[in-house]
């Protein structure tokens, strides 16, 4: 039995009722609506313009418009990892998962600088940019997402990723994998390599497999799909496997750790992988999702530990290793919260409230977080997991949670697919102000 299936006994109706109450505050997480701050402003630099960083910048200005907020993000257009699987499956264009920063700049007064943050001097409270400029801060928010652990799998480096894309950062990698899938002959084999925990978006590989299978069923019905997994259990496993059987029969083969699913070597030139016990698998399209770590700037700031991720204080998400640096999103160690866009958004609001309070020498408000993660098994077949999190005895704990019911009728799955679209539109509106 998976962890998710064990939680299915939770009263899901009660959970969703609670989440509905929370939703009255537009995706604010567990923080009360921000009152305008008083006389004391400060300088806050935010690094990273994804769900975590963009939300933090926006809600800092909502907390106190007098705070000087500067957002550092190299890309003028941000492509979301959520719903990038829909592009791979031919269900959305890249334009439909793209977002800009006009609202943050024009409506909220955030200074947006499109550059790389190259270094952080935690002692001096400065950030050095690729432009050569140096920015001083009173508080620093890092939302750097993930970086790939190159060569953690033998043979898998940046050059190999151009032939065997990971597509775990949406953008050019997504386009490469999509073009390879389109070019694959009917009867070819799509091989996906899934990593061990922790990694960005735990259900993401399995949603990807689902939507690739949906595309194959329509355009390449003789092709095969093989998942080689470095673990024996994965998020929403029972629900995914139920959906796979229902929609695709035996067209998706999943091989877990116990059955020699852990890949140890990649030959991108030959589109071949080798497992722990020496089994070779040849692909026509090879999607390698490798081990990951916190985005590089977190290491430069001195806030990562031996795990490669960032330990944070549960109450505020301030770094445990450096004062006045807060880390949100995938880079942080926040288990049992997953590394998801929804969690990054919720964490950012808690951080914004905590920073606004600290700049006025007030205690941070008590916080809690929610997460709802939808996955599409097919265009009209959605499943989800939800959770509520609080601080208990100094650590983050899941106090309520649940998953979609098993053996649900088609109408229920179709509704969840609609909810997934609604969730995406709402969180993007909340983060970047981009229209649905």
Number of other residues whose CB lies within 10 A of the CB of residue 151: 14
Q: Among residues of the chain, what percentage have pLDDT more than 90?
A: 90
Q: Give residue 34's pLDDT.
A: 44
Q: What is the pLDDT of residues 246-258, one digit of tens each?
A: 999 999 999 999 9
With tokens 């609202």, the residue in question is 103
- Residues 6+ positions from 377 with CB-CB distance below 8 Å: 207, 210, 239, 240, 243, 244, 247, 383, 413
Number of domains in the chain: 2
pTM for this predicted structure: 0.91
CB 169 within 8 A of CB 203: no
Distance between CA atoms of 192 and 215, rounded to whole angstroms? 15
263 and 342 together in one domain:
no
14 and 138 together in one domain:
yes
Distances (CA, A) of 363 to 57, 103, 354: 20, 30, 8
End-to-end CA distance of the chain: 38
Distance between CA atoms of 382 and 71, rounded to whole angstroms? 34
322 and 409 together in one domain:
yes
CB 365 within 8 A of CB 357: yes
Q: Classify the C-alpha dihedral 428-116-334-336 as positive or negative.
A: positive
255 and 374 together in one domain:
no
Q: Among 288, 305, 323, which residue terminates a domain?
A: 288
Task: Record the tokens describing residue 252, joined without a space.
Answer: 């998706």
The confidence band for 26, taking pLDDT boundaries of 50, 70 and 90, is: very low
133 and 14 together in one domain:
yes
Q: Among 248, 267, 288, which residue terminates a domain?
A: 288
174 and 205 together in one domain:
yes
48 and 111 together in one domain:
yes
CA atoms within 13 A on the CB side of 79: 18
CATH code of the domain covering residue 34:
3.50.50.60
129 and 8 together in one domain:
yes
207 and 297 together in one domain:
no
21 and 111 together in one domain:
yes
Mean pLDDT to the nearest integer, 281-308: 98
State the DSSP code for 259.
G
Q: Among 242, 267, 288, which residue terminates a domain?
A: 288
111 and 162 together in one domain:
no
91 and 141 together in one domain:
yes
Distance between CA atoms of 229 and 231, rounded to whole angstroms? 5
Domain that holds residue 367: 3-147+292-432
Q: What H or E segment, with its residue span, contains residue 84? A: helix 84-88
- Residue 2 pLDDT more than 90? no
Q: What is the pLDDT of residues 219-267, one digit of tens each?
A: 999 999 999 999 999 999 999 999 999 999 999 999 999 999 999 999 9
Q: Give residue 401's pLDDT.
A: 95
- Residue 106 pLDDT more than 60? yes
Distance between CA atoms of 302 and 116, rounded to whole angstroms? 17
State the DSSP code for 107.
T
């Amino acid at each position: 039995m998976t962890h998710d299936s064990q939680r299915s006994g939770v009263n899901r109706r009660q959970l969703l009722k609670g989440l509905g109450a929370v939703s009255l505050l537009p995706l604010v997480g567990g923080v009360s609506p921000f009152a305008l701050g008083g006389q004391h402003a400060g300088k806050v630099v935010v690094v990273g313009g994804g769900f975590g960083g963009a939300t933090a910048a926006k809600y800092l200005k909502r907390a106190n418009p007098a705070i000087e907020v500067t957002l550092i993000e190299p890309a003028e257009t941000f492509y979301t990892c959520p719903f990038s699987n829909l592009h791979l499956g031919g269900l959305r264009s890249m334009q439909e998962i793209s977002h800009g920063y006009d609202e943050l700049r024009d409506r909220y007064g955030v200074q947006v600088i499109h550059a790389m943050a190259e270094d952080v001097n935690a002692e001096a409270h400065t950030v050095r940019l690729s432009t050569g400029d140096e920015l001083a801060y009173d508080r620093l928010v890092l939302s750097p997402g993930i970086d790939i652990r190159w060569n953690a799998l033998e043979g898998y480096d940046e050059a190999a990723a151009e032939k065997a894309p990971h597509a775990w950062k949406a953008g050019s990698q997504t386009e490469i994998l999509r073009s390879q899938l389109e070019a694959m002959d009917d009867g070819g084999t799509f091989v996906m390599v899934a990593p061990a925990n922790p990694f960005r978006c735990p259900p993401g590989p399995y949603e990807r497999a689902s939507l690739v299978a949906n595309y194959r069923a329509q355009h390449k019905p003789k092709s095969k799909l093989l998942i080689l997994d470095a673990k024996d259990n994965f998020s929403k496993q029972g629900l995914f496997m139920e959906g796979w059987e229902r929609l695709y029969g035996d067209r998706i083969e999943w091989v877990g750790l116990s059955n020699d699913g852990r890949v140890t070597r990649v030959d991108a030139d030959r589109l071949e992988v080798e497992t722990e016990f020496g089994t070779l698998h040849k692909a026509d399209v090879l999607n390698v999702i490798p081990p990951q770590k916190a985005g590089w700037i977190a290491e430069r700031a001195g806030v990562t530990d031996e795990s490669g991720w960032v330990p944070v204080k549960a109450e505020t998400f301030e770094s445990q290793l450096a004062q006045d640096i807060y880390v949100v999103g995938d880079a942080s160690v926040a288990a049992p919260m997953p590394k998801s866009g929804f969690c990054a958004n919720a964490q950012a609001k808690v951080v914004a409230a905590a920073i606004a309070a600290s700049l006025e020498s007030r205690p941070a408000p008590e916080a809690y977080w929610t997460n709802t993660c939808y996955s599409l098994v097919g265009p009209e077949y959605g499943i989800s997991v939800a959770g509520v999190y609080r601080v208990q005895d100094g650590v983050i704990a899941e106090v309520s949670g649940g998953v979609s019911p098993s053996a649900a009728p088609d109408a229920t799955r179709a509704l969840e697919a609609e909810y997934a679209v609604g969730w995406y539109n709402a969180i993007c509106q909340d983060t970047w102000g981009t229209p649905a």
